[in-house]
Structure 1
Amino acid sequence: MPLALNYTEGTMTPEAGLEAGRRITDAFLKWHGLAGNAVMTPNVTMQIQALPKTGALSGGRPVDGAWLECKTPSFALVDREIQVGFFREATGIIFEAAKGDLPKDRIWTNLVHTVDGTWNMDGEAMTNEELASRISQG
């Protein structure tokens, strides 16, 4: 499940971004009850990118910020308690990575659900049912 963390240069160091990505991945697995799952763990991927100062806008103006986007099958992050808990924890991780210099109102998160049947794992497009079956083996 690809997760993407983007942040403007200077809001955190590359090392802090890498550590934040690792911790957010762990939190994602934890909130779904999948910590240590041999199938899911290597399939939660993270792209981390520092954007130039002129590479991000808020209200049409340059902004220092951080963005976390999660792309998942439609059965992930559907429970409200998991949504609130995961995104609260992820926001805290990003806030810590920025050493508190990036206000929480400059940390944005969102979720994109994929269409059932389009999730690819091990080179095979899977339905939610097929994916859940594979995950249960881990």
Structure 2
Amino acid sequence: MPLTLTFTEGVLPIGEEKQAVAQITEAMLKWHGLAGNKVMTPNITATVHVLPKSATFSGGQEFSGAWVEWKTPSFAFTDREVQQGFFTEATDIIHELSGGKQPKDQIYVNVVHAVDGAWNMNGRAMTNTEIGAAIAQG
């Protein structure tokens, strides 16, 4: 499940990006009841993008933002309690790692779902049912 973190330069102190990846990954696993799952944990990957302020915008104007985006199979993040809990926790993680400087209303969290069957694990396309069976093994 790829996690993409995008920050305007200066939102997080240099080096805190790794902590953000670790904490947000842990939160995602926790909210889905998968903490410690040996199948799911290594299948959570992440990329971090740090952009200059001249490349991040709100309302067409330069600003400093933070974006947390997951790409997941369509069964993830479907429970409203999971959505609310994870989104709040992810926002709090970024806010705290920024030293309290990044306003929570400038931290954005979203989820993009894949079409059932269009998810690759272990080198093959898997359906939601197949992924669920693999996760149940871990």
Percentage of pairs with the same residue: 57
Aligned partner of residue 53 in structure 2, secondary structure? coil
- The answer for the alignment partner of 2:76 in structure 1 is 76
- Give the aligned CA root-mean-square deviation in angstroms: 0.7
Structure 2 spans left out of the alignment, 5+ residues: none
1-structure distance, mates of 2:44, 2:14: 20
* TM-score normalised by length of structure 2: 0.98
Aligned partner of residue 33 in structure 1, secondary structure? coil
Aligned partner of residue 102 in structure 1, secondary structure? coil
Aligned AA (1:38): K
Deviation at 1:14, TM superposition (A): 3.1
Q: For 1:1-138, what aligned pairs fall within 5 Å after superposition?
A: 1-138=1-138
1-structure distance, mates of 2:84, 2:64: 24
Structure 1 spans left out of the alignment, 5+ residues: none
1-structure distance, mates of 2:34, 2:48: 22
The ranges of structure 1 where at least 4 consecutive aligned residues each deviate by more than 3 angstroms after the TM superposition are: none
2-structure distance, mates of 1:105, 1:30: 24
Deviation at 1:117, TM superposition (A): 0.3
Aligned partner of residue 14 in structure 1, secondary structure? coil
Aligned AA (1:113): H
State how many pairs are aligned: 138
